[in-house]
């Protein structure tokens, strides 16, 4: 319901609102065959690639079970957040460990959906989260990124509920598995306000220290240093956007070739290292530009989903590594932002196109991509068109959200969704008037009342 006298906007998913039984039934219909395909490796040629990293996770768990300490006695290529997964029961059979990991991933998947449903304002976002594995493939439950995506969703929802400390904790949890969510900490801290921003930073810092200090205590400094060097030393992965000009250069006979390094196929040549470094610098500069933008414009917490979407697009497009499971970050960002944009169907469609193109890229056509040649170059170009199209649409709808929320009548919204207050009430802070006698607390504007004509400039509290 839209209050009279307020700007009209779209709310949630087009059509009928989402209902918990419906979304859960569809969730089950998709998760059961997807999880079974990973557990049984069927079809074998397809699922074996999807589940390939599980052997590495099992190896780490087995090493820990035999008394060896990570980062000191054996190398781990990820931050210390993966320690929580290493303490899974060390089942010796590969199939048993696969089942164990997939079950845990599906449980986290369900928790993320339940959080979106309980928020009550992410109708189309719920469907995006439910349908994503159909487009991306079962790899969503066979990699660490399902935990990163769920933690990012939790952090955004905590900002929506005005719990900045917990938002910082969840961002740190995500960053302890994949580092990039640290780019969101400063943006979140700026958007929740000066006083509350310290809670975001404090929660993130305390969580990071809690995981890193034990590693340093048992002598894991050299392992952490190796992890950083290993990640910095990675080249341009063939699935990344930066690989496209290198594929074209190879077709032009400039001497570029595909090699296997750091557990992935990379394209190497004269300028490959420079392109990788340039991509990293552009990523960092763009992330800082986002923080500067939200600080200068004083973007309200209502734009938190759009800001998350922008940062994820920057990381995906400019990163020198783009594994297929990274698109789960995009799914999480879309899930928390799509119901606040003016063109949700367009964003939903382009997200799906990017997911399908990524599944074709890996694992379905990966062998042809790694062979390079004309077919590999065509696959790389098609994938790039899908990813860049998704990125362009995401940035466009995010800019529209920023423009809409910059209007004076939206500046007092505390929740991330206008219209989130029950019975259609909307909490909007009118422009303050000079008379001090009218500075008194006022309840939320009720349906039918024009908040711009309210005589009380004190900000109302939204009911979350």
Residues 129, 211 share a domain:
yes
Q: Is the peptide bond between 241 and the residue preceding it cis, with omega within 30 degrees of 0? A: no
C-alpha distances in angstroms, 289 versus 61, 131, 292, 392? Answer: 40, 32, 5, 17
Asked if the structure places residue 11 within a domain, the reply is: no
- Crossing angle for the helix pair 145-160 and 164-175, nearest 10 degrees? 170
- Crossing angle for the helix pair 94-119 and 53-65, nearest 10 degrees? 110
CA dihedral 376, 377, 381, 382 (to 10 degrees): -30
Residues 370, 232 share a domain:
yes
Distance of CA 306 to the CA centre of its chain: 12
Q: According to the model, what pLDDT value does residue 16 have?
A: 47
Name the pLDDT band for 460 (thresholds 50, 70, 90): very low
Residues 435, 341 share a domain:
no
Phi/psi of residue 261, nearest 5 degrees: -155, 150
Higher pLDDT, 413 or 93: 93
Q: According to the model, what pLDDT value does residue 351 have?
A: 98
Q: Say whether pTM exceeds 0.75.
A: yes
Phi/psi of residue 126, nearest 5 degrees: -60, -45
Asked if the structure places residue 175 within a domain, the reply is: yes
Q: For residue 278, is pLDDT > 90?
A: yes
Q: According to the model, what pLDDT value does residue 167 have?
A: 97
In this structure, of 7-21, 26-40, 360-374, the range with the lowest mean pLDDT score is 7-21
Residues 353, 215 share a domain:
yes
Distance of CA 456 to the CA centre of its chain: 39
Residues 232, 93 share a domain:
yes
Asked which of 379, 408, 437 is the last residue of a domain, the reply is 408
Q: According to the model, what pLDDT value does residue 435 have?
A: 41
Residues 43, 140 share a domain:
yes
Asked if the structure places residue 117 within a domain, the reply is: yes
Q: 169-209: per-residue pLDDT in tens? A: 999 999 999 999 999 999 999 999 878 899 999 999 999 99
Q: According to the model, what pLDDT value does residue 453 have?
A: 38
Phi/psi of residue 339, nearest 5 degrees: -80, -5
Q: Which parts of 241-343 fold into alpha helices (H)? A: 243-251, 272-297, 304-318, 327-337
**What are the DSSP calls for 399-417, one per residue?**
HHHHHHHTSGGGTT--SSS
Q: According to the model, what pLDDT value does residue 425 have?
A: 36
Could you list the residue range(s) of the whole structural domain that residue 445 is in? 421-464
In this structure, of 38-47, 108-117, 312-321, the range with the lowest mean pLDDT score is 38-47
In this structure, of 238-247, 288-297, 391-400, 440-449, the range with the lowest mean pLDDT score is 440-449
Alpha-carbon radius of gyration of the chain:
23
Residues 428, 403 share a domain:
no
In this structure, of 83-87, 124-128, 154-158, 172-176, the range with the lowest mean pLDDT score is 83-87
Phi/psi of residue 237, nearest 5 degrees: -75, 145
Q: What single DSSP character describes residue 30? A: H
Length of the chain: 464
Residues 337, 442 share a domain:
no
Q: 374-427: per-residue pLDDT in tens? A: 999 999 999 999 999 999 999 999 999 999 988 766 655 444 343 333 333 333
Q: For residue 260, is pLDDT > 90?
A: yes
Per-chain mean pLDDT for the chain: 85
**In this prediction, what percent of the chain has a pLDDT beyond 90?**
67
Residues 100, 43 share a domain:
yes
Residue showing tokens 């928390």: 336
Residues 395, 437 share a domain:
no
Split into its structural domains, the chain has a count of 2
Q: What single DSSP character describes residue 444? A: P
C-alpha distances in angstroms, 92 versus 50, 99, 100, 251? Answer: 20, 12, 11, 46
Q: According to the model, what pLDDT value does residue 195 have?
A: 81
Residue showing tokens 């990699």: 143
């Amino acid at each position: 319901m839209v209050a009279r006298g307020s700007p009209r906007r779209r709310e949630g998913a087009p059509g009928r609102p989402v209902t918990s039984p419906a979304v859960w039934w569809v969730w089950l219909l998709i998760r059961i065959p997807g999880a079974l395909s990973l557990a049984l490796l069927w079809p074998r040629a397809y699922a074996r690639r999807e589940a390939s990293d599980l052997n590495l996770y099992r190896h780490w768990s087995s090493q820990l079970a035999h008394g060896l300490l990570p980062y000191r006695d054996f190398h781990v290529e990820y931050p210390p957040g993966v320690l929580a997964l290493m303490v899974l029961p060390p089942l010796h059979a590969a199939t048993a460990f696969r089942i164990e990991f997939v079950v845990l991933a599906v449980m986290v998947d369900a928790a993320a959906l339940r959080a979106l449903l309980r928020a009550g304002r992410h109708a189309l976002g719920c469907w995006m989260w439910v349908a994503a594995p159909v487009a991306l493939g079962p790899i969503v439950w066979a990699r660490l990124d399902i935990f990163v995506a769920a933690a990012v969703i939790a952090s955004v929802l905590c900002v929506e509920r005005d719990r900045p400390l917990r938002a910082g904790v969840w961002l740190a949890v995500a960053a302890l598995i994949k580092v990039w969510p640290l780019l969101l900490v400063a943006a979140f801290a700026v958007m929740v306000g000066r006083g509350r921003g310290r809670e975001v930073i404090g929660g993130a810092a305390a969580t990071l220290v809690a995981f890193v200090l034990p590693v340093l205590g048992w002598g894991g400094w050299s392992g952490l240093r190796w992890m950083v060097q290993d990640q910095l030393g990675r080249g341009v992965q063939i699935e990344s956007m930066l690989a496209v000009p290198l594929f074209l250069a190879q077709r032009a006979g400039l001497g570029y070739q595909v090699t296997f390094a750091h557990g992935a196929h990379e394209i190497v040549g004269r300028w490959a290292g420079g392109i990788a470094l340039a991509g990293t610098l552009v990523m960092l500069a763009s992330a800082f530009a986002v923080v500067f933008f939200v600080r200068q414009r004083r973007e309200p917490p209502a734009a938190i989903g759009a800001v998350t979407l922008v940062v994820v697009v920057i990381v995906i497009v400019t990163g020198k590594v783009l594994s297929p499971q990274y698109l789960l970050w995009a799914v999480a960002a879309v899930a928390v932002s799509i119901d606040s944009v003016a063109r949700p169907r367009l964003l939903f469609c382009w997200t799906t196109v990017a997911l399908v193109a990524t599944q074709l890229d890996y694992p379905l056509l990966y062998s042809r991509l790694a062979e390079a040649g004309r077919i590999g170059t065509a696959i790389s170009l098609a994938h790039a068109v899908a990813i860049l199209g998704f990125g362009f649409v995401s940035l466009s709808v995010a800019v529209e959200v920023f423009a809409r929320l910059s209007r004076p009548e939206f500046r007092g919204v505390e929740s991330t969704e206008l219209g989130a207050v029950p019975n259609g009430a909307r909490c909007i802070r009118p422009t303050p008037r000079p008379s001090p006698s009218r500075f008194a607390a006022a309840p939320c504007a009720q349906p039918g009342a024009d908040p711009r004509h309210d005589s009380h400039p004190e900000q109302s509290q939204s009911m979350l």
